[in-house]
Amino acid sequence: MKNLVLKIVAVYTLFFNVCLADEGMFLPHILGAKVYNDMVKNGLKLTKEQLYSINKSSIKDAIVLFGGGCTAEIVSKEGLLFTNHHCGYNNIAAVSSVNHNYLRDGFWAKNKQEEIACAGLSVSFLESAEDVTSAVQLKLNGIPATEIAAKLPAILSEMSATASKTSGKEVRISSFYKGNQFIQFTYVIYKDIRLVGTPPESIGKFGGDTDNWEWPRHTGDFSIFRVYMSRDGKPAEYGPNNIPYSPKHFLPVSIKGVKDGDFSMIYGYPGSTNRYETSYGLKLKVDIDNPNLVELRDARLKHMYAEMIKDPAVKLKLAGSYAGIANYWKFFDGESKQIIKNNVIERKQKDEAAFEAWAKGKKEYDNLFTNIKSTYDNWRPYAKHRVYLNEGIYGSPILAMAASLSGLQTAIVKNNPEEVAKVLTRIKTQYKNYSEGQDIPSDKNIVATVLQMFYKNVDASQRPEDFYTKLKTIGSLESAETYQKFASSLFSNSILADKNKFETFISKPDSTTLKNDPAFQTAMAFATNFNTNYAKFFTAFNNSLFAFNNLYLKGVLEMNAKNESLYPDANQTMRISYGQVKSYKPKDGIICKEICTTKGILEKYKEGDYEFDAPKKLIELIKAKDYGQYADKQSKELVVTFISNNDITGGNSGSPVLNAKGELIGLAFDGNYEALSHKIAVDKDLNRTICLDIRYMLFVVDKLGGATNLINELQLVK
């Protein structure tokens, strides 16, 4: 790692795949000539500088990281911003109430004075990117390979903080190719973001969990915000005197429509992929990690859903967390199935065999995969335990909150007033968020369920025996009633379940109260058991795996030194992918068209249904075919969604889908079920991105919401 001179590139390895237009999330600031030329060959009409430039306005200046994990785009000269409904979901819920339920009813600001401030929401604009590999490697010199994983985060954090202080901006240094390259990204953060418009949930989540990750799709997954700045043009906290942001670049909006084969390009901040994962990692994922995660999330979702359908206030309170849990419940279930169905493990094994053939005679790589296998074998006996701790025990809001108090307990015992004050500041914010989203009936059932599931499914030798011995005094450990009684007692006696009691405790925290709290005792029983007996195995696993993966990718880069196109895994840094609007054949005898229209909404519509209800006005407009300028010029129908073979992943939600001229034609919001192995490997035939057609979005804004003020603000291309 120390001596690697990395050529900065962005395409494919020779033995992983050939260069295909429909795979690859490329760094726009180092777009290789081969990739750019292929984009032009496929239809792109823009120059490299129009895609990304530091000195001039370019498309990158219209793309933002929205909140902590989505993408959004600037679409007007007054800072209007489009993203997905599910990206704005928590913020919409936060500004809603039972009397003003914007999730249920929608919201449209008819002027700027009606726009609603969203506390805590920010957007990040990328200003520049710089390779700092040499500087990081200097910091790593002399550190043993198996210690780098533990020490690297602090090194990058310190370097980022120093650069931030120097520049006065937000600087983040990100790792690429398993620690073989490091790039420093400088961002400008805007914190006055206001809700401008959102469709009713029955449009924004039409199809619910049933249609999630599925095609055909008829979801109007969008929300609209606006970025504000100070009067002198700088980022600022919310203030009534702030003015709309004046962007360097905003996206024109095309309502010309799409057809099969059209060029499509997506910008965004994809969260994570692991496409250089070995076959051994995939076996652990398929055998242990994913199935247990799915089972635990399924249990939590059932308890939350049971309470949400009883009370609109509870539904509003749990909406954001439920949506997040459900989204990846289905994803991880589908990912495992597609990995197996598409023989991804076998494909990885072929890659590894090709690497070994290339590495023969190169002493540095001797026994690399033997060592990787041994690393996974040593961790495998404890892997389920860790999933059950994080997704089970800490899947309960009260137990997760209780676990977060361990730092406070330590500070109190050490009699360190400064540390206590510091920890209390964090805890007050955490408890505020916890209490606002807490639903005791569902969490009580979650506590009972996960404690019983841990007992039944985790190796008996790995249980916190003192905890379960104590539980025996209530009743049989095989009986659900025992766990239900314990959960009821926990909530009746924990200070965490009573806001007044917790605030009294926080005003003068003491070790005895915390030690005697049943929620804290329970969380600590599991945390201490893992930290004392099994954390050492996880640390060893992480440290060794980082070292071996780093060496593996070093070899991959060397193998392809003359190939300018080895794109790195996604890591929430700005990327471009390109491809085409494209139909596909998911199985024999079935052809999926590239578009869905409002006909499908009528076919799926069920009045009063939890997932397939829709506003009556929308149904009336569709039946009357009152589409205005948003109807497709050829078919005269209204297109709701389309699919492309662009390469995306989580974090691309809200990403702009652009045509060959850089005009906005849609919003990416999902992938298809047949290709849910895409974080690990892309299926060139089946991989599809599900996109909201911009014409349906504008139709809803205009015809349903009556917000013609927003339509007039856009630069429409007709």
**Structure tokens, 192:** 């006055």
Please state whether beta strands 664-671 and 716-717 pair in parallel, antiparallel, or not at all (unpaired). Answer: unpaired
Dihedral over alpha carbons 272, 275, 280, 282 (to 10 degrees): 60
**Structure tokens, 206:** 């039409």
Helix (H, G, I), strand (E, B) or coil at 584: strand
49-52: long-range pairs with CB below 8 Å, 24+: 50/662, 51/576, 51/662, 52/28
Q: Residue 179: CB partners within 8 Å, gap ≥ 6?
A: 1, 148, 152, 546, 549, 550, 553
Helix (H, G, I), strand (E, B) or coil at 673: helix
The Cα–Cα gap between 11 and 31 comes to: 9
Residue 103 burial by Cβ neighbours in a 10 Å radius (0-12, 13-18, 19+): buried
270 in Cβ contact with 333 (< 8 Å): no
Run of H or E residues at 185: strand 181-190
Give one DSSP letter per residue of 171-230, joined into a string.
Answer: EEEEEETTTTEEEEEEEEEE-EEEEEEE--HHHHTTTHHHHTT-SS------EEEEEEE-
Residue 587, CB-side half-sphere exposure with 13 Å CA sphere:
5
Reply yes or no on whether 632 is catalytic: no
Please state whether beta strands 253-254 and 716-717 pair in parallel, antiparallel, or not at all (unpaired). Answer: parallel
Q: Which of 76, 122, 653, 677 is catalytic?
A: 653
Task: Find tokens 């997760």 and name the residue.
Answer: 400
Start-to-end CA distance of the chain, whole Å, equals 53
Helices (H) and strands (E) in the chain, counts: 27, 22
Short-list 411, 517, 715, 565, CA closest to 20: 565
Q: Which of 29, 86, 218, 303 is catalytic?
A: 86
Reply yes or no on whether 86 is catalytic: yes
Please state whether beta strands 575-580 and 263-268 pair in parallel, antiparallel, or not at all (unpaired). Answer: antiparallel
**Structure tokens, 422:** 């510091």
Angle between helix 85-94 and 312-341 (nearest 10): 160
Cis amide leading into 216 (omega within 30): yes
Give one DSSP letter per residue of 108-122, joined into a string.
Answer: E-SSGGG-EE-TT--
Run of H or E residues at 492: helix 480-493
**Structure tokens, 539:** 């640390």
447 in Cβ contact with 396 (< 8 Å): yes
The Cα–Cα gap between 606 and 608 comes to: 6
The Cα–Cα gap between 79 and 75 comes to: 7
Reply yes or no on whether 653 is catalytic: yes
The CB density around residue 620, as the number of other CB atoms within 10 Å, is 11
The CB density around residue 216, as the number of other CB atoms within 10 Å, is 18
564 in Cβ contact with 11 (< 8 Å): yes
Run of H or E residues at 696: helix 694-699
**Structure tokens, 167:** 């520049």
Q: Which of 61, 192, 211, 221 is catalytic?
A: 221
Rg (CA), the chain: 26
Active site residues: 86, 221, 653
